[in-house]
Structure 1
Amino acid sequence: MPRNVLITAGAGHIGQELLPLLQSLEETRVILPTTNASRLKASLPPHSEPQSNPATFIAEEGSLTDPAWFQGLLEKYEVETVFLCLTTEDELFTTLNCLDCMARSKTVKHLIYLSACYDFASTECAQWILRNCSSGHVLVKILTEQKLVYGNLPFSWSVIRPTLFFINDLRSKHSMIENSVYDEPLSEQGVSRVAPSDIALAIKNVIIDESGKWNGRHISIGSKKVYKGSEIADIWSKALGKRIEMYPATEEGFRRFETEMGSKKNSAWGRDMRLMVELFAKEPFGMTEKEYLEQVELLGKEPEDYEAWVQKTVTTANW
Structure 2
Amino acid sequence: MPQETNMSILVIGSTGKIGRRLIPRLLSSPSTPTLVLPTTKEPSTLLSTVSSLPGYDESRVHVPQGSISDPPFLDALLQKHSVTSVFMAMTGPDELFTTSLVLSALQRSATVKHVVYISAAGDYSVDAIKAGGMQGSDAANVLVKFLVEAKLKYGIAARDDGESADKGKKKTGFSWTVLGPTLFTDNDAMGKQWLMERGVYFQALGGGAGISFVDVEDIALAGVIALEDDGRKWGGKKIIIGGKKAYTGDEVAKLWSDALRKELRLAERDEVEADLAGVIGPGHARMLADMFQEFGERGFAMSEEQYREQVAFLGKEPEEYEQFVQSTAQAWKAE
Q: Same fold (TM over 0.5)?
A: yes
**1:24–1:54 contact (8 Å) kept in structure 2:** no
Deviating more after overlay: 286-295 vs 208-217: 208-217
How many residue pairs are counted as aligned between the two chains? 312
Q: What is the aligned counterpart of 2:118 among 111, 114, 118?
A: 114
2:140 matched to 1:142? Answer: no
- The aligned residue for residue 294 of structure 1 is 309
In the aligned structure 1, how far is the partner of 2:81 from the partner of 2:58? Answer: 17
In the aligned structure 2, how far is the partner of 1:17 from the partner of 1:55? Answer: 21
Unaligned runs of 5+ in 2: 158-172
**2:114–2:230 contact (8 Å) kept in structure 1:** no
- The aligned residue for residue 102 of structure 2 is 98
Q: Which amino acid aligns with 2:196?
A: I
Q: What is the aligned counterpart of 1:191 among 186, 211, 214?
A: 211
1:126 Cα deviation (Å)? 6.3
2:34 matched to 1:29? Answer: yes
1:73-120: per-residue Cα shift (whole Å, max 9, x none)?
111101000001111211111111111100101110000001011111
How has the CA–CA distance of structure 1 residues 45 and 118 changed in structure 2, closer, same or farther, with 3 Å as cutoff? farther
Q: Which amino acid aligns with 1:202?
A: A
- Secondary structure in 2 aligned to 1:161? strand
**1:40–1:59 contact (8 Å) kept in structure 2:** yes
1:219 Cα deviation (Å)? 0.4
Q: What is the aligned counterpart of 1:163 among 167, 173, 182?
A: 182
- Secondary structure in 1 aligned to 2:272? helix
Deviating more after overlay: 29-38 vs 202-211: 202-211
How has the CA–CA distance of structure 1 residues 152 and 13 changed in structure 2, closer, same or farther, with 3 Å as cutoff? closer
In the aligned structure 1, how far is the partner of 2:140 from the partner of 2:201? Answer: 25
**1:23–1:55 contact (8 Å) kept in structure 2:** no
Q: Which amino acid aligns with 1:5?
A: I
Q: What is the aligned counterpart of 1:244 among 264, 274, 278?
A: 264
Q: What is the aligned counterpart of 2:90 among 82, 86, 89?
A: 86
1:47 Cα deviation (Å)? 4.5
Q: Which amino acid aligns with 1:156?
A: S
How has the CA–CA distance of structure 1 residues 65 and 2 changed in structure 2, closer, same or farther, with 3 Å as cutoff? same
Unaligned runs of 5+ in 1: 248-252
1:279 Cα deviation (Å)? 1.1
- The aligned residue for residue 249 of structure 2 is 229
- Secondary structure in 2 aligned to 1:119? coil
1:27-86: per-residue Cα shift (whole Å, max 9, x none)?
31111011121221122163436x9x8982211111111111111111110100000111
- The aligned residue for residue 151 of structure 1 is 155
In the aligned structure 2, how far is the partner of 1:171 from the partner of 1:157? Answer: 31
In the aligned structure 1, how far is the partner of 2:132 from the partner of 2:58? Answer: 47
- Secondary structure in 1 aligned to 2:135? helix
1:315 Cα deviation (Å)? 2.5
Q: CA RMSD in A?
A: 1.9
1:212-271: per-residue Cα shift (whole Å, max 9, x none)?
101000000001111111111111112212122111xxxxx2111111122111111111
1:2 Cα deviation (Å)? 2.9
- Secondary structure in 1 aligned to 2:134? helix
How has the CA–CA distance of structure 1 residues 126 and 196 changed in structure 2, closer, same or farther, with 3 Å as cutoff? farther
How has the CA–CA distance of structure 1 residues 147 and 314 changed in structure 2, closer, same or farther, with 3 Å as cutoff? same
Moved over 3 A (4+): 316-319
TM-score (norm 2): 0.88
- Secondary structure in 1 aligned to 2:177? strand
2:49 matched to 1:43? Answer: yes
How has the CA–CA distance of structure 1 residues 54 and 315 changed in structure 2, closer, same or farther, with 3 Å as cutoff? farther
- The aligned residue for residue 19 of structure 1 is 23
Deviating more after overlay: 39-48 vs 198-207: 39-48
**2:225–2:314 contact (8 Å) kept in structure 1:** yes
In the aligned structure 2, how far is the partner of 1:216 from the partner of 1:55? Answer: 32
1:160 Cα deviation (Å)? 0.4
Percent same amino acid among aligned pairs? 37
**1:120–1:126 contact (8 Å) kept in structure 2:** no
- The aligned residue for residue 273 of structure 1 is 288
- Secondary structure in 2 aligned to 1:275? helix
**1:118–1:125 contact (8 Å) kept in structure 2:** no
Q: What is the aligned counterpart of 1:68 among 56, 62, 72?
A: 72
- Secondary structure in 2 aligned to 1:219? strand
How has the CA–CA distance of structure 1 residues 295 and 66 changed in structure 2, closer, same or farther, with 3 Å as cutoff? same
In the aligned structure 2, how far is the partner of 1:126 from the partner of 1:168? Answer: 31
